[in-house]
């Protein structure tokens, strides 16, 4: 009976990892010529869930895996993001609340060596036993992270400061 009282209130924690090949991260922006988007090809995500709270969230994405389909644009992106010195974008945090298909909280996003707290408001959908779909988007400004928006053709083409990171993470326990 004592064991039941001690362990009966224990919180069960479940670990989740990304299902590679089914998840997607897209960076969207604008320029003086047209809107653009680039796909991040290499990234990882893991976290634990206990008592409707997401903890130990760890996202890591390779800057040089961000691909637009245009080599010169990719080179400008890597240079602007200081990819040789800061090869990864990371997001970490704990204490994200899960309620009614939503995940909310604040975490730490690091881009180009600069870390900022950012709020998140994500959608959570269960579509198979133990498999979940987390979708959302985060709007930010490059200048907030010390990034000068890239230019091309001697400065005649300018990238806008605003970015939107759109993602669809498929995770499994």
* CATH code, domain with 118: 2.40.128.110
Residue 53 lies in a domain: yes
Task: Say yes or no to pLDDT of 115 above 90.
Answer: yes
Residue 148 lies in a domain: yes
Which pLDDT tens digit goes with each residue over 48-107?
999 999 999 999 999 999 999 989 889 989 999 999 999 999 999 999 999 999 999 999
Residue 6 lies in a domain: no
Instruction: Domain count for the chain, please give it.
Output: 1
**Nearest residue to 90 via CA among 125, 116, 68, 128:** 116
Q: What are the helix (H) ranges across the chain?
A: 2-8, 71-80
Tell me what pLDDT residue 45 has. 95
Q: 64 lies in which domain range?
A: 17-172
**Nearest residue to 97 via CA among 59, 43, 53, 149:** 53
Task: Say yes or no to pLDDT of 11 above 60.
Answer: no
Partnered with residue 59 across adjacent β-strands are 45, 91
Q: What are the helix (H) ranges across 31-121?
A: 71-80
Task: Grade residue 46 by pLDDT with cuts at 50, 70 and 90.
Answer: very high
Between 135 and 9, residue with greater pLDDT:
135
Residue 97 lies in a domain: yes
Residue 113 lies in a domain: yes
Tell me what pLDDT residue 12 has. 64
Tell me what pLDDT residue 155 has. 66
Cα dist. 94→11, 33, 47, 66 in Å? 16, 40, 9, 26
Cα dist. 86→17, 55, 74, 166 in Å? 24, 25, 15, 21
Tell me what pLDDT residue 119 has. 96
């Amino acid at each position: 009976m004592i064991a039941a009282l001690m362990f009966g209130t224990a919180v069960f924690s479940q670990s989740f990892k990304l299902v590679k090949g089914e998840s997607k991260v897209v960076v969207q922006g604008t320029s003086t010529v047209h809107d653009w988007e680039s796909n991040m090809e290499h990234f990882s995500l893991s976290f634990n869930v206990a008592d409707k709270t997401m903890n130990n969230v760890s996202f890591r994405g390779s800057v040089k895996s961000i691909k637009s389909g245009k080599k010169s644009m990719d080179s400008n992106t890597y240079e602007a993001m200081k990819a040789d010195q800061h090869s990864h974008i990371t997001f970490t945090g704990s204490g994200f609340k899960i309620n009614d298909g939503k995940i909310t909280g604040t975490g730490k996003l690091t881009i180009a060596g600069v870390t900022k707290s950012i709020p998140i408001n994500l959608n959570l959908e269960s579509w198979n036993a133990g498999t979940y779909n987390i979708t959302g988007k985060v709007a930010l400004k490059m200048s907030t992270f010390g990034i000068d928006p890239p230019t091309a053709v001697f400065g005649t083409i300018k990238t806008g400061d605003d970015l939107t990171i759109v993602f669809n993470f498929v995770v499994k326990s």
